[in-house]
Amino acid sequence: MIVIACPGQGSQTPGFLAPWLELPGASDFLGEASENAGIDLVAHGTVSDADTIRDTAIAQPLIVAASLLAWRELSARVSIADAGIAGHSVGEFAAAAAAGVLTEADALRLVAVRGRAMAEAASRVETGMAAVVGGVEADVLAKIAEHGLTAANRNGGGQIVAAGERAKLEALAADAPRGARVIALQVAGAFHTDAMASAIPALREATESVAATDPRHPLWTNSDGSRVTSGERFVELLVSQIAHPVRWDACMASFEAAGISGLVELAPAGALTGIAKRALKGTPTVAIKTPEDLDAAVALITGPAA
């Protein structure tokens, strides 16, 4: 089984959408996506600087729109009807649309609400996230807890993301677990922790106006890595996941159990394929960073491994 992975926040870089706008229909899609998200995604994906697109209210719809554009282009080139789908954190909104649980328009409207609500929650206390790479997992988890932080993302492949107050993250960096490095992430809050609980009501209210459909593809949740077959249940998990840790490690274990033969990461790609190379050793991967990467993704999907 080929798994299509949709990246999360922090994967965006200045100007990353520029080459995509050269594709026929891309400007029209991003124009509609901008209307649904309520922000100018074309400007933010081409000319806005790193500080601007770090803003949670901008980054989240920008990443989801980019993933959906890459999904459209890939779908136009090769049949991916049998592919499994999963998203990391905000990438679950792109995954929901790709799997048919939500329309693209609804996914973009909801993620815009999520981004604004999480930005508001993050503004109340100066918080952030840092990746702890390497070390013994039990030691890393203990050290994160010792500094009063939360293991917000358990990504597998020797990477756990700590979240909490910036001062505590700085203390963790100065007291890194043995054999590990602490790397600050380009996000503006302690996502997937109790610090985000105040963002849940706004997203929950927004979901009441959308209709969910059961997924057309195998679809896994960050909640515990299990496969979800109910569209309504997946939307419920999208809401609660705001304040609960991401278990990407459990998702990858489920990919293995399902017989993964290759992983394709949609734009703006790189982080999830990097983790997969460490945690799913021997599994072919393709990161679709620009349209030039689409041919490699098609080859992986249609090749012997598929």
Any idea which residues carry the catalytic annotation? 89, 192
Buried/exposed 243-261: b ≥16 CB within 10 Å, e otherwise: bbbbbbbbbbbbbeeeebb
Distance linking the first and last C-alpha atoms of the chain: 6
